[in-house]
Every structure is written in C-alpha cells, then in structure tokens.
Amino acid sequence: MRVRGSCHCGGVRYEAEVDPERVTICHCTDCQQLTGSAFRVTVRALQKDFVLLAGSPATYVKTGESGARRVQAFCSNCGSPLYTHGVGNTDTYGLRVGCIEQRRELVPRNQVWCRSALDWATDISELPGRERE
C-alpha cells in the first residue's frame, strides 16, 4: 500500500510502501512518554520503499529496556514524531501512523509490551463522546 506522511506543519514529508498487515500498537513506557499518550501505533516500511520528499527531521536516540538503540525522527518545528529506525541499521523504518494521510486504512493487527498498557486504555468504547469540541 502506498502512503504519504507529513508532520503537522508540513515541513517534513515522505512517501512509502507499507504492508497494512504490519500495523502494531506499542504500549511500552518509552512510547507512552515519547507520544505523550497511552500508546503508539506504527507500520513498518523497508528503507528501499521509503522516500523523504521534503525537510530534514531532527533525531533523538533512545535506549530501550532491551539495550537496543533506536533513532526517533521528529519535526524540529512542530514536534511531530515521524518514524524510527535502529542505530546503524536503517533497513526497516517504523512509520508513526498518526502522521500518515491514509491512517484510517491502517488498522492495528497486534499489540506489544502489553504488560505496560494503561488499564483504562484497552477499552474506551463505553466512554461518552462528542463529534467535535
């Protein structure tokens, strides 16, 4: 599936080919902190299928619980998290689904780091909601 993504301000833009069956929710505490939310949703793209069209993202290297180091790419202007890849290994990118135009079509297929999931985040279907605020 061909996708187009960008940060909130539009300064960084990309295109990629992704497999919609590879959409994952991550509940790890790093993802909670890096998003400021309960979890992060990511879809994988191979480096050969990823093209940066505009801008140059800023990066931050985090070290996970496993000791693995991951580059976190984000817009230095608006702060949108864009993608991740391993340090010294850019074979696979983890694209942040919230920045992808086709995000409604990228339905999560699995979850990881469920031991860190916030209890309330696993089922919000009963919460009252409004169409707009």
Domain ranges in the chain are: 2-118
Rounded distance, CA 38 to CA 120, Å? 9
Q: Which CATH class is domain 2-118?
A: mainly beta
The pTM (predicted TM-score) of the whole model is 0.90
Residue-wise pLDDT for 19-56, tens only, equals 999 999 999 999 999 999 999 999 999 999 999 999 99
pLDDT digits (tens, 9 = 90+) for 67-88: 889 999 999 999 999 999 999 8
pLDDT by residue (tens digit) across 88-120?
Answer: 877 899 999 999 999 999 999 999 999 999 999
CA dihedral 94, 12, 18, 24 (to 10 degrees): 40
